[in-house]
């Protein structure tokens, strides 16, 4: 199957790729291990349009040695049925010392095919569901994993509507006013939502979004709800930016109806 070629896109406020990141010094190179050729072709096209270079290999032939020898910046593993085969492959790749730090995501078109907690336990950084509306999220989700893993430089200030977050300074501002007294877990939850505004985050995904943050992850989904309550209270009128989507999770709305 053909290799994808870099392409560029734009986003308001800065020169960047379609994934939302300033163009790197060299193309970011991914390895897509496919089982469903039709789905893989669509994924490859999205990543190509986002500026990535992608090599495609059949999942069943992708031994740890072969993947490690390719030296990819990230690995995207097709979790199409049988999903157990993807988990076995994921564990084997992550067990290879040469691939311990390589970003690894699982891709699927079926939201029932793979549970995030199971994938995380197998060594994956994220599970990305690309159907029915998730295909547009693919590049942004991979960008988030690459930033977390250090393949892409961390953003300094992240601006979402009236909200500005400075990760390097551990500060949050609303309309230029600092928001004090956020706990580390509240800050990380808000930062996770702000990295992909408008995208719904399940409680499981919020729990596992920043596993390398130095503090043990919360033990239950209820903890996420408590964090959201605290964030809304501390953000004051702008707390309505954090929206609950019943049965799904939370998202950050850049343009809520704020009544000051």
Tens of pLDDT, residue by residue over 163-196, are 989 887 788 989 878 898 899 889 999 999 999 9
The reply to whether 51 and 126 lie within a common domain is yes
- Candidate from 11-20, 146-155, 204-213 with smallest mean pLDDT: 11-20
Last residue of a domain, one of 116, 149, 182: 149
User: What is the sign, positive or negative, of the torsion defined by CA atoms of 249, 253, 257, 260?
Assistant: positive
CA 143 to chain CA centroid, nearest Å: 6
Its domain, for residue 60, covers 29-149
Q: Stretch 222-228: mean pLDDT, rounded?
A: 90
The reply to whether 174 and 122 lie within a common domain is no
CA 124 to chain CA centroid, nearest Å: 11
Residues 6+ apart with CB under 8 A from 81: 110, 113
Residue 39, domain CATH: 3.40.50.2300
**pTM attached to this predicted model:** 0.59
Last residue of a domain, one of 92, 115, 149: 149
Q: Stretch 62-74: mean pLDDT, rounded?
A: 94
Q: How many domains does the chain have?
A: 2
Tell me the range of 82-86, 103-107, 131-135, 136-140 where mean pLDDT is highest. 103-107
Under 8 Å between Cβ of 111 and 84: no
Q: Token pair of 178, please?
A: 């600092």
Compute the mean pLDDT over every residue in the chain, rounded to the nearest whole number: 83
Residue 192, domain CATH: 1.10.10.10
DSSP annotation string for the chain: -PPP------BTTB---TTSSPPPSS--EEEEEES-HHHHHHHHHHHHHTT-EEEEEEGGG--HHHHHHH--SEEEEE-PSSHHHHHHHHHHHHHSGGGTTS-EEEEES-TTS--HHHHHHHT-SEEEE-TTTGGGGHHHHHHHHHHHHTSSPPPS-EEETTEEEEGGGTEEEETTEE-----HHHHHHHHHHHHSTT--B-HHHHHHS-TTSSSPPPSSHHHHHHHHHHHHHHHGGGGGGEEEETTTEEEE-SS-----
Domain membership flag for residue 145: yes
């Amino acid at each position: 199957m053909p290799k994808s070629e870099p392409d560029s896109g734009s986003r308001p406020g800065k020169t960047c790729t379609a994934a939302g990141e300033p163009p790197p010094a060299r193309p970011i190179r991914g390895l897509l291990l496919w089982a469903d050729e039709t789905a893989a072709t669509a994924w490859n096209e999205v990543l190509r349009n986002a500026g990535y270079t992608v090599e495609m290999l059949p999942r069943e032939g992708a031994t740890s040695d072969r993947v490690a020898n390719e030296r990819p910046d990230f690995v995207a593993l097709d979790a199409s049925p049988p999903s157990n085969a993807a988990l076995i492959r994921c564990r084997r790749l992550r067990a290879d010392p040469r691939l311990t730090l390589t970003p690894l995501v699982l891709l699927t078109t079926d939201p029932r095919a793979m549970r995030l907690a199971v994938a995380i336990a197998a060594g994956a950084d994220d599970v990305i569901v690309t159907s029915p509306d998730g295909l547009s999220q693919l590049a942004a989700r991979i960008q988030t994993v690459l930033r977390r893993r250090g393949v892409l430089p961390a953003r300094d200030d992240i601006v979402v509507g009236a909200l500005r977050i400075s990760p390097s300074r551990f500060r949050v501002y609303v309309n230029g006013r600092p928001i004090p007294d956020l706990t580390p877990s509240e800050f990380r939850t808000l930062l996770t939502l702000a990295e992909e505004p408008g995208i719904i985050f399940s409680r499981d995904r919020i729990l596992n979004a920043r596993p390398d943050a130095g503090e043990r992850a919360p033990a239950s989904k209820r903890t996420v709800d408590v964090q959201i309550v605290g964030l809304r209270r501390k953000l004051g009128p702008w707390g309505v930016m954090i929206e609950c989507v019943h049965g799904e999770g939370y998202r950050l709305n850049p343009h809520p109806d704020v009544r000051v």
